């Protein structure tokens, strides 16, 4: 992740030490993933809320993605 945005980096570029990637506050690892408004460290498992989700702009009248995902999971898992 870089500046709270998940990015894909080729293996050769991953070896570079000047990528300015976000790091885990617990262990310092840059192996982070962002999903459903949370940032998780793949190294130590620490989870925190993603700050960038607060600043996402959606078009007026467009449904909230997290609400859509929650509704889909509820349908699939048979929750009311």
Q: What is the pLDDT of residues 2-21, one digit of tens each?
A: 777 777 888 777 776 677 88
Other beta carbons within 10 Å of 19 = 12
> In this structure, what DSSP letter does residue 17 have?
S
Condensed to tens digits (0 to 9), the pLDDT of residues 36-58 reads: 888 999 999 999 988 754 444 45
Give the H or E element holding residue 65: helix 65-77
């Amino acid at each position: 992740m870089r500046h709270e945005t998940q990015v894909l980096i080729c293996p050769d570029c991953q070896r570079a030490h000047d990528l300015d990637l976000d790091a885990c506050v617990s262990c310092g690892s840059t192996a982070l993933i962002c999903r459903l408004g949370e940032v998780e460290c793949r190294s130590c498992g620490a989870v925190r809320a993603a700050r960038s989700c607060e600043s996402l702009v959606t078009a007026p009248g467009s449904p909230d993605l997290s609400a859509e995902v929650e509704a889909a999971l509820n349908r699939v898992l048979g929750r009311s």
